Amino acid sequence: GSGAYQIIALEPGDYSITFTLPGFNTLVREGIQISGGATANIDIQLGVGSVEETVTVSGAAPTIDVQNIVQSETLTSEIFEILPTARGYDSMALLIPAMNIQGGPTTSLSVDTGGISGEGNNRLSIHGSRDSDAEVHVDGMDSNLVAFEGAPQGTPFDAAIQEYVYDYSGNSAEVQTGGVRLNLIPKEGSNTFSGGMFTNWGAPGWLANNITQELIDRGITGGKDGGVKMDQSWMTSP
């Protein structure tokens, strides 16, 4: 009776809303962008109309969320397709100030320099939280490893991800720990067939070479061994 309505569990994307009430003009609000984990407030006023009339308002929804207390950052596919950085969820997380990554069960490397960590399932932490308290969800469903806390069951395929949503403070009760919660929002299909391709590569000239002759010489070693007393004792030294 207060005139307030809630539409929950919306997938990320662009929406339009039509407001109708007998005796009032119809209002259409277009260009409402919804991202994962965000709450969009739409305030409207319907004018009294004696004849049928439709008013269409086009424009983006308010970007300031005045209801949601969760500290969250959403990185869309447009962002990680443009930026010259690794596409993994952990490398993308480093774009958020104060975010840290810790090597997961398949690697002890915290920073993926040139892909040397492979497809390691790294764990996230921020503002002093425990990396083992991190959670990885796929469209809201928990996908953490049972044996290794804070790491996902597999390496997400970034080409299938529409948004990376990082919640790192004030999480709701659906998050069972107090760490970073990553929600992977997958892309949706459509009636139009489309495709894409990308490749990662590096030219030899892009790779630094700090191996000097001195370092090479340090790698040349030798040793000796032999008998001290025949058939009784022996010695060896590097």
Burial class (CB in 10 A: 0-12, 13-18, 19+), 74: middle
Cα dihedral 94/98/99/105 (nearest 10): 110
Mean pLDDT of the chain: 76
**Residue 106: pLDDT over 70:** no
The whole-angstrom separation of Cα 194 and Cα 192 is: 6
Element (H, E) at 71: strand 71-76
pLDDT score recorded for residue 200: 66
pLDDT over 70 (residue 177): yes
> Averaged over 183-206, what is the pLDDT?
76
User: Can you give the pLDDT at residue 166?
Assistant: 92
Given pLDDT bands bounded at 50, 70 and 90, which one contains residue 11? confident
Q: Please name which of 169, 146, 141 lies closest in space to residue 156, comparing C-alpha atoms.
A: 141
- Map tokens 């083992």 to a residue: 132
Q: Which of 29, 31, 27 is nearest to 54 (CA)?
A: 27
Global pTM value: 0.61
- Rounded to an integer, the average pLDDT of 62-70 is 63
In the chain, which residues fall in CATH 2.170.130.10?
69-238
How far apart, in whole angstroms, are the C-alpha atoms of residue 152 and residue 182? 10
| Contacts of 1-5 spanning 24+ positions with Cβ under 8 A | none
Confidence of residue 187 (pLDDT cuts 50, 70, 90): confident
Kindly state the average pLDDT of the residues 71-94: 82
Half-sphere exposure of 216 toward its Cβ, with a 13 Å CA cutoff? 5
Q: Which CATH number fits domain 69-238: 1.10.132.10, 3.30.70.100, 2.40.110.20, 2.170.130.10?
A: 2.170.130.10
